[in-house]
Amino acid sequence: MDDSLQSIIARINDAFYKLESFMNGSLREYRYFDFNLEFTKLFSEIKKYENHTAGNLDLIDSYWVLMQNLSIDFDKGPIKNEDVWDNVDFEKVVNDLHHLHWDRIEEFGQFHPGYEPPKSLSILDIIREYPENKKRTKSPPKKTSYVWQNEPEKELPELYSLMIDKYKLIASETLIKDFTAVFTAQPIESMNPIRWHQDNASELLYFIVRLEETDNVGHNPKRADYQRMTACFVKPDGKPFTVNFKQIKQTINITLSQEKQKAIDELVSTF
């Protein structure tokens, strides 16, 4: 596991995003994440001279406020998804966050005493304000990922959950922030591509074509964009697809099994 500062922050942000998405009902399944372990690693990294920056100190305080807000939601509610308490992993994370928020408050305070972050915020607010993320958005991108046309904040977590848990089309270790980046017009040169579950270019192409045909993602109907697709999705081993997609598209309804076509049609029809 990569325990560099940015990787730790990415895992924590991804975990908070999944937690919030599960609470508001846009994520169907929830799995345990060890916040205590990751924050221990985060504290250790931020103590290093090169990481002891104003942006990172603000981030620590913002995490604490976020956990304070979540603790209030846990205790008083209401939580939109009424089924959260049926999930054992969710209950365990609630206990962990209570512990982090109250029992380790001195560890949070050691970095930035006296700082007063906003009293109410979500993980998306934290991600947007983090200096490293602001750097990435300064220059206009030459090429961007897809744009989800409907309600991305609600529908993308659901699509993510379905593609991993039910249809198993993408790698199970895919981070939700990387998945969301594929459908929110992010610069492709700074993205982590999603690993498709098989070395099956026809299946990937059919998935993208169906998203375009149903107007779930924006596209140019007169010109297929295979460069975008291969930048956003790669083979299970992380290597790029190098096949002739234009040629594959001409016979895709014959070469791709009816079973796989039906599964993707069913997935896409959800949105």
Q: What angle do CA 241, 234, 162 make, to 5 degrees?
A: 130
Distance between CA atoms of 109 and 175, rounded to whole angstroms? 29
Question: Do 191 and 181 form a contact (C-beta atoms < 8 A)?
Answer: yes
For residue 207, pLDDT over 90 is answered with yes
pLDDT at 114: 52
For residue 246, pLDDT over 50 is answered with yes
Give percent above pLDDT 70 in the chain: 90
What residues does each domain of the chain span?
5-136, 152-268
For residue 86, pLDDT over 60 is answered with yes
pLDDT at 14: 92
For residue 90, pLDDT over 90 is answered with yes
Amino acid at 64: W
User: Which value, in Å, is the radius of gyration of the alpha carbons in the chain?
Assistant: 20
Distance between CA atoms of 203 and 206, rounded to whole angstroms? 5
pLDDT at 141: 46
pLDDT at 138: 46
For residue 118, pLDDT over 70 is answered with no
pLDDT tens for each residue of 18-65: 999 999 888 888 999 999 999 999 999 988 878 878 788 888 888 888
pLDDT at 105: 81
pLDDT tens for each residue of 159-193: 999 999 999 999 999 999 899 999 988 888 888 99
Mean local confidence (pLDDT), 239-251: 89
Which residue, 200, 180, 203, 204, is CA-closest to 191? Answer: 180
Query: What are the structure tokens assigned to 186, written together?
Result: 């992010």
